[in-house]
């Protein structure tokens, strides 16, 4: 079975390619990238005017299955990913039961094969039940298919446990993905601490609640020589420390979310609970530092922290509302808005959403070259649409981007040579 | 007044504040009459929903409604189905379909009146939300100050105490700044919020410095719970540093006014000599609170202005 992606602008950050070309796919692999390829049989996808990129990878997704299928499940979450332009997603272990052993890992992989429409790579827990006290069975989880370990959402507060996790992870060449938050400094906090938390009368979470733990984890990464990956970095102080650590040779990578790149704490004044997220939306100065860090390479990748919630967990008092944003189906247009504004160039955007995340996890993906797995994300840079959560494939309609108009949307998502979504619609 | 809800002073214009204060004056006259009832809001219904304990604010709203002949109902949280686990949205809907025109809400969580306002046709009046705003308290403070000083413009006002957690402080700051007042706040460093400079508010750690030359001192109630979670070491130390005493008044203008939103902790944030002294207008604030709330109910429930003035 052949598929010819015809006439698109092919962007491959790994090789530096950025030119009009056709991409020939056969049997799930890229067979040719060239001008004027023609085929006698098979399917043709007209990509003229479109951007043809390596399949996008989101290394930070909450699929909620098993245990919280009322928020999201593997079927709906992977469809949201496909519609949003992602060919591969990594799912966090804060499920019920927690992905803290081989059996749950296998369950998630099996369910993904049966019910999913994109590649799903599970992330295992650092500690049993994510309780922060004893290491989970990391070797067994890796053998069953986990690509990293993380206690995301429940930071590892004990420095000794974090140290052991980092040391132990070295045996498997997997990163420890750390959600940096000092729970004492952030206790009761609802939004970024600053001028607007004063104005809105909501308890603030200082930038330092994140930075204290970034500092600790960087020191432990240096001590152990392990690969530390910092999740959803949101502050200028974190960026400065990461930059310095990288220059000193510490093995650290980090991600940033589309919402932390584009929204500020000012919008919390609506008390719209869809603006509540952890870490919180920061102030303009932090945003500008994140933009620079994307460009200079301090930030390795963009990840959504897709956190779907049930309607009722958001339809309530701000303090009682769950934290999180349903992000898979808005990531591409939101990041494209930075491209249109000249804040980010297209090549960097594509890199941070494909090759960058692949490198963080050591995945053999994120390249568009002959012989590669045929995962492709095709973007229509001119398409204009308004974010309508009612049309999300995700069960989580919780997005602060609702009602906003964006230009530049996913046009097609191809997974192993198969078109799984087209113009936001699942095939 | 062209608005459905009264949620805070942050987004009230100076003109709207003046309209409320001007309307409160004839209301105060009504309270001082022998027969204190006017038929203005006959046939209208209001409900007070207090998720936090309060005697004076709730009573003040209730009697304000009654003086204007509105039907008033108080929903005590302990007696409501909230105790049975009803969601806030369902509670709101239930009250709305019973036909209430106005819902007066106090809640321990900031922004809850805003959430309610978005989800109901009723007019919503914020009677204090978490650490955000307490607009009717600030309006009665402004009314009281204006009554004594004749105007608000350019006055120097010091607010003393737990600014970080105070909705009274926030609403006062927003209101006073709209009249070009010099607003000073003073309290322990742990109880001053960030961003005061950007708000145009001067801040002090020293009570003595903050009181120099001020026209008004607004003393906030200190919550004992704040000590338990570590904001300051002891109530004694707090009182030593921040309790308003007679000797402090010499630092301020001769005709300084002392306000307190109540209930007072005598001997903690305010000494009895001050509380009972001639500069204190704490009881007047309570009377004015009824007048201001009558004005707000009247303006929001669509009475005819001439009826009152006449």
Is B106 part of the annotated catalytic residue set? yes
The pLDDT, as a whole number, for residue B306 is 43
Option in A197, A270, A317 nearest B88 (CB): A317
Mutation target to probe the A interface, by most A beta carbons within 10 A, among B5, B51, B110, B133 is B110
Q: How far is B17 from chain A (nearest CA, A)?
A: 19
Cβ(A369)–Cβ(A23) below 8 Å: no
Which candidate, A125, A142, A123, A124, places its Cα nearest to that of A133? A125
Which pLDDT tens digit goes with each residue over B16-61?
999 999 999 999 999 999 999 999 999 999 999 999 888 889 999 9
Tokens of B25: 């004056």
Nearest CA among B8, B100, B106, B109 for reference residue B57: B106
Is the per-residue pLDDT at B81 higher than 70? no
The alpha carbon of residue B132 is apart from the nearest alpha carbon of chain A, in Å, by 4
Q: Which residue of B has its CA nearest to A191?
A: B110
Q: Is B189 exposed, middle or buried (0-12, 13-18, 19+ CB in 10 A)?
A: exposed
Look at B109 and A198 and tell me if their CB atoms are within 8 Å.
no
Flag if B89 and A320 touch (Cβ within 8 Å).
no
Closest CA to A412 of A122, A121, A118, A120: A118
- B→A contacts (Cβ < 8 Å), by residue, are 10, 87-89, 107, 109-112, 114-115, 129-133, 167, 170, 193-196, 198-199
Please give the C-alpha separations between residue B81 and each of A357, B76, B88, B98, B102, in angstroms, as whole numbers: 50, 10, 10, 15, 20
Can you count the helices (H) and strands (E) in chain A?
14, 19
| B194 contacts A193? CB cut-off 8 A | yes
Q: Is B208 exposed, middle or buried (0-12, 13-18, 19+ CB in 10 A)?
A: exposed
Average pLDDT for B65-75:
96
| Nearest residue, CB atoms, A200 vs list B111, B194, B199 | B111
Strands A301-302 and A252-256: parallel
Compute chain B's Rg from CA coordinates. Answer: 19
Where does residue B94 rank: exposed (0-12), middle (13-18), buried (19+ CB within 10 A)? middle
Cβ contacts of B212 within 8 Å, gap of 6 or more: B251, B252
Distance CA B143, CA B171 (A): 13
Phi, psi of B204 (to 5 degrees): -140, 150
Please report the DSSP string for B44-71 in residue order. -EEEEEESS--SHHHHHHHHHHHHTT-E
> What pLDDT is stored for residue B83 in this prediction?
64
Rounded Cα–Cα distance for residues A28 and B255 (Å) = 86
* Shortest distance, CA A234 to any CA of chain B (angstroms): 19
Q: What tokens appear for B118 in the block?
A: 């978005």
How many whole angstroms separate alpha carbon A65 and alpha carbon A49? 38
CA dist., res. B106 & res. B90, Å (int): 17
Write out chain A residues lying below 8 Å of B132, CB-based: 200-202
How far, in whole angstroms, is CA A291 from its chain's centroid?
17
In which band, very low, low, confident or very high, does the pLDDT at B309 lie, cut at 50, 70 and 90? very low
Question: Could you tell me whether strands B156-160 and B216-219 are parallel, antiparallel, or unpaired per DSSP bridges?
Answer: parallel
Q: Report the distance separating Cα B277 and Cα B281, nearest Å.
A: 9
Exactly one of A73, A305, A375, A380 is catalytic; which is it? A305
pLDDT 10s digits, B94-132: 999 999 999 999 999 999 999 999 999 999 999 999 999
Which residues on chain A are in Cβ contact (under 8 Å) with B198? 195
Flag whether residue A318 sits within 8 Å of chain B, measured between CB atoms. yes
Contact at 8 Å (CB) between B223 and B165? yes
Measured between beta carbons, the chain B residues lying within 8 angstroms of A203 are: 131
Task: Report the C-alpha gap between B145 and B172 in whole angstroms.
Answer: 11
CB B232 within 8 A of CB B226: yes
CA distance A145 to chain B (A): 42
Q: Among B28, B44, B58, B106, which one carries the catalytic annotation?
A: B106
* Window A:203-232, CB contacts with B under 8 Å: 203-204
Q: Is the pLDDT of residue B87 over 90?
A: no
For residue A86, the SS3 value is strand
Neighbours of B245 (CB within 10 A): 12
Give CA–CA dist A415/A396, Å, rounded: 23
Burial A344-354 (b: 16+ CB within 10 A, else e): bebbbbbbbbb
Cis peptide bond upstream of A36, omega within 30: no
| Minimal-distance CA residue of chain B relative to A269 | B111
CB pairs under 8 A between A and B: 70
Question: Nearest CA of chain A to the CA of B33: how many Å?
Answer: 39
State how far residue B114 is from chain A, nearest Cα, in angstroms.
Answer: 7
**Which long-range contacts link A238-242 to residues 24+ away (Cβ below 8 Å)?**
A238/A180, A238/A207, A238/A210, A238/A211, A238/A214, A239/A289, A239/A290, A239/A292, A239/A293, A239/A298, A239/A299, A240/A289, A241/A211, A241/A214, A241/A215, A242/A214, A242/A218, A242/A293, A242/A298
Q: For position B80, what pLDDT does the model report?
A: 62
Which structure tokens are listed for A283?
């102030």
Diameter of chain A measured on Cα atoms: 66
CA-CA distances (angstroms) from residue A24 to A31, A34, A417, B277?
A: 5, 8, 9, 90
Contacts of A196 in chain B (CB under 8 A): 195
Does residue B241 have a pLDDT over 60? yes
Q: Which domains does chain A have, with CATH numbers?
A: 2-51+373-426 (2.30.40.10), 56-361 (3.20.20.140)
Active-site option among B56, B114, B202, B266:
B56
Residue B305 above 60 pLDDT? no
The answer to whether A201 contacts B194, with C-beta atoms less than 8 Å apart, is no
Which residue is associated with the tokens 């200028």?
A236
Check B194 against A317: CB less than 8 A apart: no
Contact B199 A195 (CB under 8 A): yes
CB of A319 less than 8 A from some CB of B: yes
In a mutational test of the B interface, the residue from A206, A284, A317 whose CB has the highest number of chain B CBs within 10 Å is A317
**A315·B89 Cβ contact <8 A:** yes
Q: What is the pLDDT along chain A (427 residues), one digit of tens a residue?
A: 899 999 999 999 999 999 999 999 999 999 999 999 999 999 999 999 999 999 999 999 999 999 999 999 999 999 999 999 999 999 999 999 999 999 999 999 999 999 999 999 999 999 999 999 999 999 999 999 999 999 998 999 999 999 999 999 999 999 999 999 999 999 999 999 999 999 999 999 999 999 999 999 999 999 999 999 999 999 999 999 999 999 999 999 999 999 999 999 999 999 999 999 999 999 999 999 999 999 999 999 999 999 999 999 999 999 999 999 999 999 999 999 999 999 999 999 999 999 999 999 999 999 999 999 999 999 999 999 999 999 999 999 999 999 999 999 999 999 999 999 999 999 9
Look-up of token digits 């002294």: B277
Q: In sequence order, what DSSP letters do the residues of B88-134 get, joined into one string?
A: HHHHHHHHHHTT-SEEEEEESSTTHHHHHHHT-SSEEEEEEETTTB-
Closest C-alpha among B209, B217, B220, B272 to residue B246 = B272
Q: Do A91 and A124 form a contact (C-beta atoms < 8 A)?
A: no
Contact (CB<8Å) B131/A203 = yes
Q: Which chain B residues are closer than 8 Å to A194 by Cβ?
A: 194-195
* Per-residue model confidence (pLDDT) at position B123: 96
């Amino acid at each position: 079975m052949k598929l010819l992606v015809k006439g698109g602008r092919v962007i491959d950050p790994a090789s530096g390619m950025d030119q009009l070309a056709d991409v020939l796919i056969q049997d799930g692999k890229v067979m040719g990238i060239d001008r004027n390829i023609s085929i006698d049989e098979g399917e043709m996808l007209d990509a003229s005017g479109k951007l043809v990129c390596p399949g996008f990878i989101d290394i930070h997704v909450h699929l909620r299955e098993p245990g919280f299928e009322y928020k999201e499940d593997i079927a709906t979450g992977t469809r949201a990913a496909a519609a949003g332009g992602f060919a591969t997603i990594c799912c966090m272990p804060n499920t019920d039961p927690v992905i803290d052993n081989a059996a749950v890992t296998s369950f998630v992989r099996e369910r993904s094969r049966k019910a999913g429409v994109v590649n799903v790579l599970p992330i295992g827990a650092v500690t049993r039940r994510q309780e922060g006290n004893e290491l989970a069975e990391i070797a067994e989880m890796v053998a069953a298919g986990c690509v990293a370990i993380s206690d995301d959402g429940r930071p590892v507060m004990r420095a000794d446990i974090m140290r052991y996790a980092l040391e132990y992870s070295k045996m498997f060449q997997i990163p420890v993905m750390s959600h940096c938050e000092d729970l004492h400094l952030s206790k009761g906090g609802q939004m970024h601490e600053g001028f607007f938390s004063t104005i809105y009368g909501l308890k603030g979470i200082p930038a330092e609640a994140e930075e204290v733990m970034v500092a600790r984890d960087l020191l432990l990464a240096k001590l152990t020589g392990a690969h530390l990956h910092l999740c959803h970095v949101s502050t200028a102080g974190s960026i400065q420390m990461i930059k310095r650590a990288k220059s000193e040779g510490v093995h650290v990578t980090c991600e940033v979310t589309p919402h932390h790149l584009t929204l500020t704490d000012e919008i919390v004044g609506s008390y719209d609970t869809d603006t509540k997220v952890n870490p919180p939306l920061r102030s303009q100065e932090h945003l500008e530092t994140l933009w620079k860090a994307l460009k200079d390479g301090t930030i390795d990748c963009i990840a959504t922290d897709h956190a779907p919630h049930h309607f009722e967990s958001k339809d309530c008092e701000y303090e009682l509302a769950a934290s999180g944003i349903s992000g898979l189906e808005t990531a591409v247009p939101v990041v494209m808005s930075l491209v249109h504004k000249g804040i980010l160039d297209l090549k960097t955007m594509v890199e941070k959403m494909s090759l960058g995340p692949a490198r963080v996890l050591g995945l053999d993906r994120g390249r568009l070259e002959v012989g590669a797995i045929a995962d492709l994300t095709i973007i229509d840079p001119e398409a204009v649409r308004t974010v309508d959560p009612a049309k999300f494939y995700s069960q989580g309609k919780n997005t602060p981007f609702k009602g906003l108009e964006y230009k530049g949307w996913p046009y097609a998502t191809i997974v192993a040579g198969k078109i799984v979504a087209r113009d936001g619609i699942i095939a | 007044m062209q608005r459905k809800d009264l949620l805070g002073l942050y987004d009230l214009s100076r003109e709207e504040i003046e309209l409320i204060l001007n309307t409160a004056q004839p209301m105060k006259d009504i309270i001082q009459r022998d027969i204190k009832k006017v038929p203005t809001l006959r046939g209208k219904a209001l409900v007070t929903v207090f998720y936090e304990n309060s005697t004076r604010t709730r009573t003040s709203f209730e009697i304000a409604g009654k003086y204007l002949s509105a039907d008033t109902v108080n929903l005590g949280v302990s007696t409501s189905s909230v105790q049975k686990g009803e969601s806030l949205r369902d509670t709101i809907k239930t009250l709305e379909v019973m036909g209430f025109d106005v819902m007066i809400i106090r809640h321990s969580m900031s922004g809850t009146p805003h959430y309610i306002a978005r989800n109901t046709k009723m007019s919503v009046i914020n009677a204090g939300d978490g650490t955000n705003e307490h607009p009717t308290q600030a309006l009665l403070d402004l009314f009281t100050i204006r009554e004594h000083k004749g105007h608000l413009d350019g006055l120097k006002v010091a607010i003393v105490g737990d600014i970080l957690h105070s909705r009274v402080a926030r609403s006062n700051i927003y209101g006073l700044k709209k009249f070009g007042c010099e607003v000073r706040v003073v309290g322990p460093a742990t109880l001053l919020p960030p961003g005061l400079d950007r708000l145009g508010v001067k801040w002090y750690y020293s009570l003595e410095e903050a009181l120099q030359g001020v026209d008004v001192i607004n003393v906030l109630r200190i919550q004992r719970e704040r000590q338990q979670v570590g904001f300051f070491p002891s109530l004694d130390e707090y009182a030593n540093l921040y309790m308003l005493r007679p000797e402090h008044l010499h630092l301020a203008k001769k005709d300084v006014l002392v306000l307190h939103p109540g209930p007072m902790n005598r001997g903690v944030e305010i000494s009895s000599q001050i509380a009972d002294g001639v500069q204190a207008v704490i009881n007047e604030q309570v009377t004015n609170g009824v007048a201001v709330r009558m004005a707000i109910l009247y303006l929001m429930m669509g009475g005819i202005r001439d009826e009152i003035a006449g």
